[in-house]
């Protein structure tokens, strides 16, 4: 069967350039090496990968107490199901649910080295005492120390990214030394899309890294400096569905059901970059409509007849991909098939 | 089987209070009457309802040229499949696709009476000439004139809502008079959640109204004045998953994968209202985390142990509901079942 072109898709449609994904993945392997395991952020994803042959899965999310039993199931089923923990109460829950057949809970201590989200703060004595408590708990193994340097998202350019990567690595290695001084050895890791896209040499001293959204990338990562705009592998196809000459605007069939709102106020071109049209701005979106206008001057409507295709490069591909029940995969514009993402929790 | 309580759900979870939905629907019927038809904003929804017994469906979205064939299929299959149109090129596409068995395309002219999104502007001569062109096209029927007064979303309070409702009704009725003067009669309609929640008397002169998101409502509608906060029927359950005393914050398991970002900057309580905790603010969200802090003063962590449930009232229920692959339906906190929403386009 002859593969259909992208233009055969009804819009809005999320399209994935599989060649770019492969190139991005190869480049990450060259930079950081590879392992057969996978890191997920929801249990739904963990179950999906477990059902499809992965037996080494890290659920990189501080153990939610409503999901202990589901985590226990995966721990008893897989070679190596690993969880995160940053609070002694969560450890108490593990004690209450010993695993069958003498299996161990594989626990990473989640450490906050300046990101300001989850994790026990690296500088607080509670961090060491929690590590000690994990080590001292029967049926639980301290697998490693996990740090997410999401603060690298505030960076602009390689130099700033590498400064955050270096600082996070230093703090993590210092923490590992403190652990060692109290007789504890385990793995260490940091991760984020920017820091793993431009790793510093000292990251080689860590056990592993978790490189984030390197497969798809997006406009945000290009602004940070993790990638070029050409490396972004996921886009949203949209069509012109209205002309509004009285407002110097056109309407497209992509609103916030097809593109995340989280580019708001971040780009001169609005909520996305419109490929090939740096002079256009995606000004606003409602549920199923986007308003597009020129950054300056009058719109030439003859260039954008009703039904014509535009390609949006998303500001944040994670947030946009989650809006789509189907990913349309293509190679050089020829459709190869569909990916159905795993959603929910 | 004994129905389980809401607290048995893993979080984040979208929960629908079916009693409130019924009460909201009854109140709308009392205000505006009822018809057996339904209005949808995607063809995926149209197909869902067509597959489940609806034979009078209005696809309230200016005809997208990539979906003409799918619209033709529904037009040939249902008693009354109705579409919207606001551009002569879209009419040309209908001419190219006559329906089988002498069926007619049922077309509403989409008119813009100040909303500033889709539709031909009411004051422009093109509006009348497009209506005439529709009437003059073989195989096409001008069913009515459709106006969405989404500009009522800028209102605060009943008086402002009713001013927009009155103005939209007046402009629509004036347009109907102009049509009549050129020998054209057809239905008329306006719609939006605020205007139909507080209809003005003259709306009784219209053929029908399209009342929007009256079933679920949300914080936005309560701020506009369409409803009270108590009438909001859809909420997001979330759990505390982290304590961050060094930042005076706690973390919840709901990020922008479970709650829309479009409440940004709109509420003193952040991205949502946290039910029963007017002193708390949902400050920020990442993919699977929310940061909550007190509006003022120190956080009393003893009130929010790890795993404790919080209930988020969403700023915009349409935008939040679309994030969830399952709606959990309950009556007085006892779970009755699941609704699986139709997604995509």
Q: What is the pLDDT of residues A220-245, one digit of tens each?
A: 999 999 999 999 999 999 999 999 99
pLDDT digit string (tens) for B187-201? 999 999 999 999 999
pLDDT digit string (tens) for A82-106? 999 999 999 999 999 999 999 999 9
Mean pLDDT for chain B? 96
Report how far apart the first and last C-alpha atoms of chain A are (Å, whole number): 37
How far does the CA of residue B136 sit from the closest CA of chain A (Å)? 22
| pLDDT value, residue A36 | 76
DSSP-derived letter for residue A2 is P
pLDDT digit string (tens) for B234-267? 999 999 999 999 999 999 999 999 999 999 999 9
**A4, A40, A45, A66: best to mutate for the B interface, most B CBs within 10 A:** A66
* Among A90, A257, A260, beta carbon nearest to B306: A90
How far does the CA of residue A126 sit from the closest CA of chain B (Å)? 12
**Rounded CA gap, A122 and A147, in Å?**
10
* Among A241, A262, A345, beta carbon nearest to B261: A262
* Inter-chain residue contact A11 with B257, CB threshold 8 Å: no
**Residue B1 banded pLDDT, cuts 50, 70, 90:** low
* Inter-chain residue contact B256 with A262, CB threshold 8 Å: yes
Backbone phi and psi for residue A309, each to the nearest 5 degrees, phi listed first = -85, 140
* Inter-chain residue contact B326 with A344, CB threshold 8 Å: yes
* Inter-chain residue contact B241 with A118, CB threshold 8 Å: yes
Find the residue in A nearest to B40 (Cα).
A288
**Rounded CA gap, A150 and A221, in Å?**
12
Q: Is A310 helix (H, G, I), strand (E, B) or coil?
A: strand
In contact, B342 and B48? CB cutoff 8 Å: yes
Task: Tell me which chain A residues have a C-beta less than 8 angstroms from the C-beta of B341.
Answer: none
Give A303's strand partners: none
* Inter-chain residue contact A256 with B262, CB threshold 8 Å: yes
Backbone phi and psi for residue B63, each to the nearest 5 degrees, phi listed first = -40, 115
Q: Is residue A1 scored above 80 in pLDDT? A: no
**Rounded CA gap, A265 and A223, in Å?**
14
Say if residue B26 is exposed, middle or buried (CB neighbours under 10 Å; 0-12, 13-18, 19+): exposed
Task: Tell me which chain B residues have a C-beta less than 8 angstroms from the C-beta of A97.
Answer: none
Q: Is A302 helix (H, G, I), strand (E, B) or coil?
A: helix
Task: Give the HSE-up count for residue A132: Cα atoms under 13 Å, Cβ half-sphere.
Answer: 11
ipTM of the shown complex:
0.96
Host H or E run for residue A38: strand A38-40
How far does the CA of residue A344 sit from the closest CA of chain B (Å)? 6
Q: What is the 3-state secondary structure (H, E, C) of A311-334?
A: EEEECCHHHHHCCCCCEEEEECCE
Mean pLDDT for chain A? 96
| Mean pLDDT along residues A325-335 | 98
| pLDDT value, residue B2 | 75
| Mean pLDDT along residues A121-140 | 97
Find the residue in A nearest to B150 (Cα).
A286
Task: Tell me which chain A residues have a C-beta less than 8 angstroms from the C-beta of B97.
Answer: none
**A286, A302, A324: best to mutate for the B interface, most B CBs within 10 A:** A286
| Mean pLDDT along residues B270-290 | 98
% of residues, chain B, pLDDT over 90: 97
* Among B10, B264, B286, beta carbon nearest to A345: B10
**Rounded CA gap, A281 and A49, in Å?**
39
Give A209's strand partners: A190
The residue extents of the domains of chain B are 35-215, 229-339
* Inter-chain residue contact B65 with A307, CB threshold 8 Å: yes
* Among A9, A62, A260, beta carbon nearest to B242: A62
* Inter-chain residue contact B10 with A86, CB threshold 8 Å: no
* Among A89, A239, A307, beta carbon nearest to B305: A89
| pLDDT value, residue B36 | 76
What does CATH list as the number for A229-339?
2.40.37.20
pLDDT digit string (tens) for A5-55? 999 999 999 999 999 999 999 999 999 988 778 999 999 999 999 999 999
* Inter-chain residue contact B344 with A322, CB threshold 8 Å: no
A·B CB contacts under 8 A: 133
**Residue B342 banded pLDDT, cuts 50, 70, 90:** very high
In contact, A272 and A312? CB cutoff 8 Å: yes
pLDDT digit string (tens) for B129-185? 999 999 999 999 999 999 999 999 999 999 999 999 999 999 999 999 999 999 999
| pLDDT value, residue A2 | 75
* Inter-chain residue contact A241 with B62, CB threshold 8 Å: yes
Whether domain B35-215 has CATH 3.10.129.10: the reply is: no
**Rounded CA gap, A292 and B281, in Å?**
33
- Can you spell out the DSSP letters for A79-136? SEEEEEE-SHHHHHHHHHSPPGGG--EEEEEEEESS--SSSEETTSHHHHHHHHHHHT
In contact, B317 and B330? CB cutoff 8 Å: no
Task: Tell me which chain B residues have a C-beta less than 8 angstroms from the C-beta of A342.
Answer: none
What does CATH list as the number for A35-214?
3.20.20.10
* Inter-chain residue contact A288 with B326, CB threshold 8 Å: no
């Amino acid at each position: 069967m002859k593969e259909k072109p992208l233009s055969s898709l009804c819009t809005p449609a999320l399209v994935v350039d599989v060649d770019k994904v492969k190139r991005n993945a190869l480049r990450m392997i060259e930079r950081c090496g590879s392992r057969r395991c996978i890191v997920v952020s929801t249990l739904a994803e963990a179950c999906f990968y477990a059902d499809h042959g992965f037996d080494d899965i890290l659920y990189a999310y501080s153990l939610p107490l409503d999901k202990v039993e589901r985590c226990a199931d995966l721990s008893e089923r897989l070679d190596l199901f690993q969880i995160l923990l940053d609070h002694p109460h969560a450890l108490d829950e593990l004690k209450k649910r010993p695993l069958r057949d003498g299996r161990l809970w594989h626990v990473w201590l989640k450490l906050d080295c300046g990101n300001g989200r989850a994790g026990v703060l690296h500088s607080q004595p509670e961090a060491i005492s929690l590590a000690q408590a994990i080590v001292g708990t029967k049926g639980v193994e301290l697998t490693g120390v996990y740090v997410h340097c999401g603060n690298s998202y505030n960076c602009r350019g390689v130099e700033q990214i590498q400064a955050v990567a270096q600082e996070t690595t230093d703090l993590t290695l210092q923490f590992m030394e403190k652990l060692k001084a109290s007789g504890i050895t385990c793995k260490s890791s940091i991760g984020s899309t920017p820091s793993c896209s431009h790793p510093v040499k000292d990251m080689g001293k860590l056990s592993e890294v978790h490189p984030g959204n390197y497969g798809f990338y997006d406009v945000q990562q290009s602004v940070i400096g993790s990638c070029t705009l050409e490396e972004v592998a996921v886009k949203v196809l949209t069509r012109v569905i209205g002309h509004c000459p009285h407002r110097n605007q056109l309407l497209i069939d992509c609103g916030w059901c097809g593109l995340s709102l989280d580019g708001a106020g971040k780009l001169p071109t609005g909520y996305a970059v419109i490929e090939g049209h740096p002079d256009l701005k995606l000004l606003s979106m409602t549920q199923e409509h986007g308003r597009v206008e020129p950054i300056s001057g009058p719109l030439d409507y003859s260039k954008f007849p009703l039904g014509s295709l535009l390609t949006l490069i998303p500001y944040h591909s994670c947030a946009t991909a989650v809006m789509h029940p189907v990913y349309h995969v293509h190679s050089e514009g020829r459709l190869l098939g569909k990916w159905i993402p795993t959603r929910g929790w």
